[in-house]
Amino acid sequence: MHKPCPPPDPDPRTPLLAVPAGACDCHFHIFGPAARFFYAARRSYTPPDASVEDYRRVMAALGLQRCVIVQPSVYGTDNTCTLDAMARLGPDCRGVAVIDETVSDTALYDMHQAGIRGVRFNVLYKGGVKISAVSAVAERIAPLGWHIQFLLDGRGLADLADDLGRLPVPIVIDHLGHAPAEIGVGHPGNQALLALVGEGGCWVKLSAAYRLSRRAPGYEDTAPLARALIEAAPERVVWGSDWPHPSVEGAMPNDGDLLDLLGVWTDDATVRHKILVDNPAVLYGFP
């Protein structure tokens, strides 16, 4: 059964945080129109349409200039919707695709020219590529300078850290590690995440705090880990909205509130500039 998803908040609040020029949302999705871009039969949820035009309104409300679209699990390895959205959003947009080891060299080249800069492995939702393909995919994308992005349950990260650290490409961990905030910074999974980030070669997205927290709408229980990650490697963390918040549990977040969390997690404007502008430029190849 495919879980239906509610639409995002139609009125994103302008954040209180002063957003620097060139600020980037490093994690969002586009869905539909469903009549044109068909969802995979094997999927965990069915989202409502969330269009490029809808997302442009979010960018305008939040004061963002750049963005990184992430291929969602409901499309499997068919990146057509993502690539179409990237073309419409223009040169200030980059993308993260979903592929397997059978992808052709021509397809990889075309995706690179379109602005794809990474590959996502989603091991939490149906439609993702099996984790067993990671090594083969990493070998294929290494010459392009791409990275591999993981959506996983961070509580098990200590068991995966050595294997991830040996991949021949940078890695990016979604959503603050995607573990319940209540486990605390001292949990072995979070300690493994901090070690990976601190050693280099690993990046983390400061995104989707609402997925980890039991304390909406302020998500205060996510602050200790977010602050620890920023302190461990302020040059290897980026921010993402996770718009339009597919398969959300509980109240739908407002994107202005999510961006304002950065002001809670660090009061250093220079560090926030790194997170919103400098770090995305390095990771995704923005000029």
CA atoms within 13 A on the CB side of 172: 30
Tokens 């990771």 -> residue: 283
Q: In this structure, what token pair is assigned to residue 26?
A: 């490093």
Confidence of residue 1 (pLDDT cuts 50, 70, 90): low
CA dihedral 49, 254, 96, 237 (to 10 degrees): 180
pLDDT at 127: 60
Question: Which residue in this structure is represented by tokens 């997205």?
Answer: 205
Count of the separate structural domains present in the chain: 1
Q: Residue 182, Cβ neighbours under 10 Å: how many? A: 11
Q: Which two structure tokens, joined as six digits, stand for 74? A: 């409901």
pLDDT for the residue numbered 122: 86
130 versus 81: the higher-pLDDT residue is 81
HEC profile of 184-226: CCCCHHHHHHHHHHHHCCEEEEEECHHHHCCCCCCCHHHHHHH
- Contact assessment for residue 205 and residue 178, using Cβ atoms and an 8 Å cutoff: no
DSSP 242: -
Q: What is the mean pLDDT of residues 203-219?
A: 95
Specify the range with the lowest mean pLDDT, choosing from 37-41, 123-127, 162-166, 264-268: 123-127
> Mean pLDDT across the stretch 164-187?
97
pLDDT, tens digit, 9 for 90 and up, residues 90-116 = 999 999 999 999 999 999 999 999 999
Q: What percent of the chain has pLDDT over 70?
A: 99
Segment 108-127 mean pLDDT: 90
Q: Give kind and range of the element (H or E) at residue 137.
A: helix 134-141
Q: Which two structure tokens, joined as six digits, stand for 180?
A: 């319940």
**Cβ-proximal residues to 231 (8 Å cutoff; 6+ apart), any chain:** none
Domain that holds residue 133: 3-284
The mean pLDDT of the chain is 95
- Give yes or no: 278 in active site: no
Sign of CA dihedral 257, 263, 269, 275: negative
Calpha distance 147→138 (Å, rounded) = 8
Mean pLDDT of 245-267: 94
Pairwise CA distance, residues 148 & 141, whole Å? 9
- Phi, psi at 275, each rounded to 5°: -65, -40
The pTM assigned to this predicted structure is 0.96
- Predicted local confidence at residue 137, as pLDDT: 96
For position 237, which CATH number holds? 3.20.20.140
Mean pLDDT in residue range 27-38: 97
pLDDT bracket for residue 154 (50, 70, 90) = very high
What was the pLDDT predicted at 36? Answer: 97
Q: Catalytic one among 174, 242, 257, 260? A: 242
The first and second tokens of residue 68, run together, are: 């990184």
Report how far Cα 44 is from the mean position of its chain's Cα atoms: 18
